[in-house]
Amino acid sequence: MSADPTQTLAFDTSCHLFSGCGFPAPGLHSFLFKPLWGDADSNLYFNKPMLLALLGSIIVVVFFWAAFARPKVVPGKLQMIAESGYDFIRRGVVYETIGKKEGEKYVPLVVSLFFFVWMMNLWSIIPVAQFPVTSIIAYPIVLAAIVYVLWVSLTFKRHGFVGAFKNFTGYDKSLGAVLPLAMLIELFSNLLVRPFTHAVRLFANMFAGHTLLLLFTIASWYMLNGIGIAYAGVSFIMTIVMTAFELFIQALQAYVFVLLTCSFIQGALAEHH
């Protein structure tokens, strides 16, 4: 095992069951990478997750640019795929949550968020890359912060200070004596808990999924020795199963992220009663 704490999981390929070395279990060190450029001690560097995030952004932009640069009445395969994805998010998420009239202006943002998050998740199963960028908490936090700023600013813009305060606190005078406590809980929940869970939900799922994939992948190699070969086969099958499952989870988490985004926007635009 590498002694460098800034290097991602690495282990001696000669290390197998019954060879005298312990199982190189994945852990937090599996999410740390040596800088490709710069110095980690100075916090000014460029590493693998940053490279994947940059490449993912370029891939999404190039894909839609290629699909819609010269749109045709009878779309080609690329345009058809892009239109299907765009229309799915527009109608199935934005229109269903916010409404067609109010939601149309937010379609570009929500579509961009969906495909960016999905691409960041997909890196987990792409050879050579094999790492979901969203399993590093900083990336979901930034995305959730963008949504948070939009949500709060829209709330104040639509309802004014007093209306926004009522929106955030769930003000309802019919609650009587428990109103102050209810308002405090709602304020804490809306302004702190909701954006936190928005980011953590994505991060936690990708972190756990990548750890499980690492676990079964490493176990397949580690047990490839003597009678351990039978166990290695089972572990390899589990690796394939978990990879297929991750494909589903990656798309689902991107969908849930934008669904919650639309829910926040809808809440900001809705009239408080």
Percent of the chain topping pLDDT 70? 93
Model confidence band, residue 6 (pLDDT cutoffs 50, 70, 90): very low
13 lies in some domain? no
* 195-247 confidence digits (pLDDT tens): 999 999 999 999 999 999 999 998 888 887 777 788 888 999 999 999 999 99
**Whole-Å CA distances, 28 to 5, 214, 245, 268:** 10, 12, 22, 38
pLDDT at 45: 86
Entry pTM:
0.88
Model confidence band, residue 2 (pLDDT cutoffs 50, 70, 90): very low
Q: Which domain holds residue 62?
A: 28-269
Which residue is listed with tokens 């302004």?
191
253 lies in some domain? yes
* 123-181 confidence digits (pLDDT tens): 999 998 999 999 999 999 999 999 999 999 999 999 999 988 888 888 888 878 888 89
The Cα 142–Cα 119 span in angstroms is: 16
Q: Which element (helix H / strand E) includes 12?
A: none
pLDDT at 10: 53
22 lies in some domain? no
141 lies in some domain? yes
The Cα 263–Cα 267 span in angstroms is: 6
199 closest CA partner among 148, 124, 267: 148
Local structure of residue 94 (DSSP, 8 states): I
pLDDT at 1: 35
pLDDT at 12: 60
23 lies in some domain? no
153 lies in some domain? yes
Dihedral (CA of 243, 248, 251, 252) sign:
negative
Q: Which residue has better confidence, 111 or 76?
A: 111
Structural domains in the chain (count): 1
110 closest CA partner among 271, 260, 267: 260
Specify whether the CB–CB gap between 179 and 166 falls below 8 A.
no
10 lies in some domain? no
The Cα 122–Cα 131 span in angstroms is: 8
Q: Which residue has better confidence, 176 or 84?
A: 84
